[in-house]
Amino acid sequence: MTGPRFTQTALYLCICLLLCSCAYPTLETTPAADTAPLATLEPRAGEKLLRVDAQKSLIQIYTYRGGRLAKFGHNHVIAARRIQGSATLTAQVRGSRFNLRVPLAALTVDEPALRLAAGSDFASEPTADDIAATRANMLGPDGLAAAEFPAASITGEITAVNGARASLTITLQLRGQSVTLKSGDNHFERTSSGTRLSGQLRVRQSDLGMTAFSALGGALVVLDEVVIHYDVVAHH
């Protein structure tokens, strides 16, 4: 049978298969080893030096689908663990600094517990093939270019404090490009052994030289802006 009904059905199935995996072709990408030592911040007079706790710190990047056929795609939760770095803490907190590095080889995509915690926007269930294809392309040359740039660096300073609320200036460096951002939506607290800083910011992929995914003439896209949530713990 090659009539209109068969042709339309076959076309519909092809589109569904394409979009349900976010239309990403699977690429073989092996991130380069990140072996360069990370410089420790030098404390200034009156500052305390802290070390980032790689086991307790977590950065999550939320990406969102868009376009007329968005319902066929998935939003994604990308998690960064094994965060390395140091921070300095001033007596008044304002002026405290941090220097972090995120190894891209350790990034994960769509851990079930993180999708569940992220809420209804992440209620869909991508398959294992969806996740593998998304991660491979995320690390590929049109994404993070992890084979050439194996880590992201994040530096910043607390510019203002009001109780537990903190404002930050953050510079994010990725794939050889950098962008400086300001965020007033942060929570700072002292712990028995150091500090904890959590909050969120928004950044456009295009500001870092990446092209947000688009297919079928823009009928399915990954939105350019992503939301970054961070929870960083550091100890004396």
pLDDT for 219:
76
pLDDT for 71:
82
161 touches 188 (CB < 8 A) = yes
Q: What is the pTM of this model?
A: 0.83
Residue ranges of the chain with per-residue pLDDT less than 50: 1-30
Give which of 167, 174, 188 is closest to 61, Cα–Cα: 174
CATH code of the domain made up of 45-235: 2.40.128.110
Mean pLDDT of the chain: 84
pLDDT for 36:
57
pLDDT for 85:
96
Tens-digit pLDDT profile for residues 86-136: 999 999 999 999 999 999 999 999 999 999 999 999 999 999 998 998 899
pLDDT for 24:
38
pLDDT for 221:
82
The secondary structure of 49-102 as a DSSP string is: EEEE-TTT-EEEEEE-EESTTGGGS--EEEEE-S-EEEEEE-TTSTT-EEEEEE
Domain boundaries, the chain: 45-235
Structure tokens, 164: 């537990």
Give which of 64, 24, 31, 70 is closest to 204, Cα–Cα: 64
Side chain identity at residue 113, one-letter code? A
pLDDT for 109:
97
133 touches 26 (CB < 8 A) = yes
